[in-house]
Amino acid sequence: MQTKNQLNPNGNKEGYWEEYYSNGILWYKGSYKNGKKNGYWESYYRNGNLSYKGYFNDGKEEGYWEQYYHDGIPSYKGYYKDGICDGYWKIYDMHGKLKETIFYANN
């Protein structure tokens, strides 16, 4: 069994964490390193649908990310580098239709 929701000797979140809404639905799951988000994360809405999934490095978004509307339809997909949008991003409307594609370079 995986140990979760631990603090390091400095009182910072460390290792794997899960938090739940008062209705028992998973709010988020992911790992911390010295109090900063690190590694793969998922976050959920109160209705249980996925809100986002992606990676963190030292508390900043890194790599491929997906964000969703409350009903589970994708809202955007794209890449981060050091917490900043980087490369191609696809933006979707509330019906799941591709609205636009944006390219980010050098912030």
pLDDT of residue 2: 66
In a domain, 95, yes or no: yes
Q: State the number of CA atoms in the 13 A half-sphere of 57 facing the CB.
A: 9
Identify the helix (H) or strand (E) that includes residue 33: strand 26-33
pLDDT of residue 59: 97
In a domain, 2, yes or no: no
Closest C-alpha among 23, 44, 42 to residue 31 = 42
Q: Which domain holds residue 53?
A: 7-104
pLDDT of residue 11: 95
CATH code for the domain in which residue 97 is found: 2.20.110
Angle value at C-alpha 22, between 17 and 27, nearest 5 degrees: 35
Residue 58 confidence class, pLDDT cut points 50, 70, 90: very high
Number of independent structural domains in the chain = 1
pLDDT at 49 over 70: yes
